[in-house]
Amino acid sequence: MMNMGTSFLLWTVLFSSIGMGYFIYGKKQQHKSALLAGIALMIYPYLVSSVLALVVIGVALMALPRYLHL
Protein backbone atom coordinates (compact mmCIF):
# COMPACT_ATOMS: atom_id res chain seq x y z
CA MET A 1 0.00 0.00 0.00
CA MET A 2 1.30 3.46 -0.83
CA ASN A 3 2.40 5.66 2.07
CA MET A 4 0.45 8.92 1.68
CA GLY A 5 2.01 11.02 4.42
CA THR A 6 2.38 14.76 4.19
CA SER A 7 6.09 14.65 3.37
CA PHE A 8 5.49 12.10 0.62
CA LEU A 9 2.84 14.31 -0.98
CA LEU A 10 5.02 17.42 -0.78
CA TRP A 11 8.00 15.64 -2.36
CA THR A 12 5.71 14.27 -5.07
CA VAL A 13 4.40 17.75 -5.92
CA LEU A 14 7.94 19.18 -5.91
CA PHE A 15 9.43 16.55 -8.23
CA SER A 16 6.39 16.55 -10.53
CA SER A 17 6.62 20.34 -10.86
CA ILE A 18 10.32 20.16 -11.65
CA GLY A 19 9.51 17.40 -14.14
CA MET A 20 7.00 19.66 -15.86
CA GLY A 21 9.69 22.32 -16.16
CA TYR A 22 12.19 19.83 -17.59
CA PHE A 23 9.53 18.58 -20.02
CA ILE A 24 8.71 22.08 -21.29
CA TYR A 25 12.41 23.00 -21.56
CA GLY A 26 13.26 19.75 -23.35
CA LYS A 27 10.40 20.17 -25.79
CA LYS A 28 11.21 23.81 -26.64
CA GLN A 29 14.98 23.34 -26.85
CA GLN A 30 14.78 19.85 -28.41
CA HIS A 31 16.91 18.50 -25.55
CA LYS A 32 15.93 14.82 -25.46
CA SER A 33 17.50 13.93 -22.12
CA ALA A 34 15.70 16.82 -20.39
CA LEU A 35 12.44 15.81 -22.06
CA LEU A 36 12.77 12.18 -20.97
CA ALA A 37 13.86 13.16 -17.45
CA GLY A 38 10.83 15.43 -17.21
CA ILE A 39 8.49 12.62 -18.21
CA ALA A 40 10.16 10.27 -15.73
CA LEU A 41 9.96 12.86 -12.93
CA MET A 42 6.23 13.23 -13.49
CA ILE A 43 5.52 9.47 -13.62
CA TYR A 44 7.84 7.76 -11.13
CA PRO A 45 6.10 9.00 -7.91
CA TYR A 46 3.18 6.73 -8.80
CA LEU A 47 5.51 3.72 -8.68
CA VAL A 48 7.43 4.48 -5.45
CA SER A 49 6.05 4.07 -1.94
CA SER A 50 9.00 5.17 0.22
CA VAL A 51 9.91 8.79 0.93
CA LEU A 52 13.64 7.99 0.90
CA ALA A 53 13.39 6.21 -2.46
CA LEU A 54 11.28 9.09 -3.80
CA VAL A 55 13.95 11.64 -2.91
CA VAL A 56 16.93 9.56 -4.09
CA ILE A 57 15.35 8.71 -7.45
CA GLY A 58 14.12 12.29 -7.89
CA VAL A 59 17.57 13.78 -7.32
CA ALA A 60 19.12 11.23 -9.69
CA LEU A 61 16.58 12.02 -12.41
CA MET A 62 17.15 15.74 -11.94
CA ALA A 63 20.90 15.27 -12.46
CA LEU A 64 20.46 13.02 -15.47
CA PRO A 65 20.20 15.72 -18.21
CA ARG A 66 23.37 17.37 -16.91
CA TYR A 67 25.47 14.26 -17.50
CA LEU A 68 23.59 12.41 -20.26
CA HIS A 69 23.32 14.07 -23.66
CA LEU A 70 21.11 12.31 -26.23
pLDDT (tens digit per residue) in 27-42 = 999 999 999 999 999 9
Mean pLDDT for the stretch of residues 12-18: 96
Q: Are 44 and 22 in contact (CB under 8 A)?
A: no
Distances in whole angstroms, Cα of residue 58 to Cα of each of 24, 38, 42, 69, 70:
17, 10, 10, 18, 20
Q: What SS3 class is residue 23?
A: helix
Q: Is the pLDDT at 4 greater than 60, yes or no? A: yes
Q: Is the pLDDT at 1 greater than 80, yes or no? A: no
Residue 12's CB is within 10 A of a number of other CB atoms, namely 19
Q: Is the pLDDT at 24 greater than 60, yes or no? A: yes
